[in-house]
Structure 1
Amino acid sequence: MLHTNIQVELYVPRKCSATNRIIKAKDHASVQINIAKVDEEGRAIAGDNITYALCGYIRGRGEADDSLNRLAQQDGLLKNVWSYSR
């Protein structure tokens, strides 16, 4: 067993993908969604996915679907789904 003086964090907070807010440990309404990347035939590529974290604030306002569509379109997973309309 090696004894080193390296400090290891027990908790690393996540950031909301839609708002860049830090998701606190007590935010029980937050979710993390993994979307698999697929090949040309529509099969999932093993171990290759994109992760989105959405905070409870976004979900509580009812904007999770819109935010997820916007993020997926920015990453090239969707085409012509989200458009800003406010």
Structure 2
Amino acid sequence: MTVNFEDIGWGEYVVQPPSFEANYCSGTCSFQLDKVSSNPYVPNVSCTPDKFDSQTILYFHDNNLILRTFPKMIVTSCGCS
């Protein structure tokens, strides 16, 4: 999944990068628990992010140029939960 700062209305604030790949996880996971529990109130196990990387962004805030590293912005690994 590409996050494009211009597309989300932040183009005039963010200097670099103009976009980045955030990645994402999707889908269901098959576990033995799924076969045992047919309770409609117990959600199915699904694929979710379990490891992340940070993203450094250069942006303007109150007329100041800020270089900041934001944690957990990029999904690097998926797992079942």
Q: Same fold (TM over 0.5)?
A: no
Which structure has more helix as a fraction of its residues? 1
Q: Which has the higher strand share?
A: 2
Q: RCO higher in 1 or 2 (8 Å CA, sep ≥ 6)?
A: 2
Q: TM-score range by the shorter chain?
A: under 0.3
Which has more radius of gyration?
2
TM-score, normalised by the number of residues in structure 2 = 0.25
